[in-house]
Amino acid sequence: MAKNTEVSQARKAKHGWIITVFMAVLSLAWVSPIFIVILNSFKKKAFIFRYPFGISTEPLSKGWDKFIGGAKRMAAGSLNYSNAVKKTDFFHSFGYSMFITVVSVLLIVVCCSMCAWYVVRVKNLVTKGLYLLFLFSMIVPFQMVMFTLSKFANMLHLSNPIGIVVVYLGFGAGLSVFMFTGFVKGISVEIEEAAMIDGCNPLQTFFLIVFPILKPTTITVAILQAMWIWNDYLLPSLVLNINKYKTIPIAIQYLKQSHGQVDWGAMMAVLVLAILPIVIFYTFCQKYIIEGVLAGAVKG
């Protein structure tokens, strides 16, 4: 029996190493496009097309010359960043994207968490119907409503950064309410009853007692919604007045010149600048994603 157990453990360890190596190679395949974009953001346009995966074309025997030549080309290619900032008016676009993303995420988190708490605690036909509507909104494809949405947004004067925040709240409510509802079902009612006995009104009970408990799901919802809103191109292009307000995805499109010409060096540079904030945000909060998703999907 002991020998069989040792053989079984050895096989599991061997299979574990194989799976680890496979997943590592697979992860490199997924991450490699990002490294290619960063590498090409320091090159001139001609070198992007000729040598997209390297920084020099010198023979390996000329190691130092190769290094110096590549460094010079990368230094010259660093002008891509200044050109990208000027051509796209990057800082204005960054400001609009940041405002829309931050305010939209805050509204989604606060409003949807309160709605989920109400739906779980007040059980009647209205809350059941409301919850079904939120679930139905997750099923309907965006393409079915985008033209009607664009028309209504124009009629209601929502073609500005404040107006599009309201639109994002509507589109982000379905998934957010679903996740918050699953987590709220696992919160003991006795905790809220004790708070009310101590004199808390419903708002105080929610913000002082319930909302802190929702931290894992709150961070998960914030990350998912921030990644979607920051990178979204279609909704701002339909709703916003792009002659006045350009988010980063829209500003990137203006690097396309006449006759289909594209400044690829500046394009790569502005892509790096665009993904950097959301990558930093995701890196600091990623540990809460799995915890929040599992909590919202399993509890209750």
Q: What is the DSSP string of 171-231?
A: HHHHHHHHHHHHHHTTS-HHHHHHHHHTT--HHHHIIIIIHHHTHHHHHHHHHHHHHHHHH
Size of the chain, expressed as the number of residues it contains: 300
3-class state of residue 286 by DSSP: coil
What torsion do the CA atoms of 50, 51, 53, 54 make, to the nearest 10 degrees?
-170
Q: According to the model, what pLDDT value does residue 257 have?
A: 65
* CATH code for the domain defined by 88-298: 1.10.3720.10
* Domain ranges in the chain with CATH number 1.10.3720.10: 88-298
pTM over 0.85: no
- Residue 66 is encoded by which pair of tokens? 């190769």
Higher-pLDDT residue of 146 and 70 is 146
Q: Which of 44-58, 96-110, 148-162, 223-237 has the lowest mean pLDDT?
A: 44-58
> What are 113-159's pLDDT values in tens digits?
999 999 999 988 999 999 999 988 888 888 888 888 888 888 888 88
Contact 275, 34 (CB under 8 A): yes
Give the mean pLDDT of 41-61.
63
- Mean confidence (pLDDT) of the chain: 80
pLDDT value at 228 more than 70 = yes
User: If residue 128 lies in a helix (H) or strand (E), which one and from where to where?
Assistant: helix 125-139
pLDDT value at 76 more than 80 = no
Taking the CA of residue 177 as centre, how many other CA atoms within 13 Å lie in the half-sphere pointing to its CB? 25
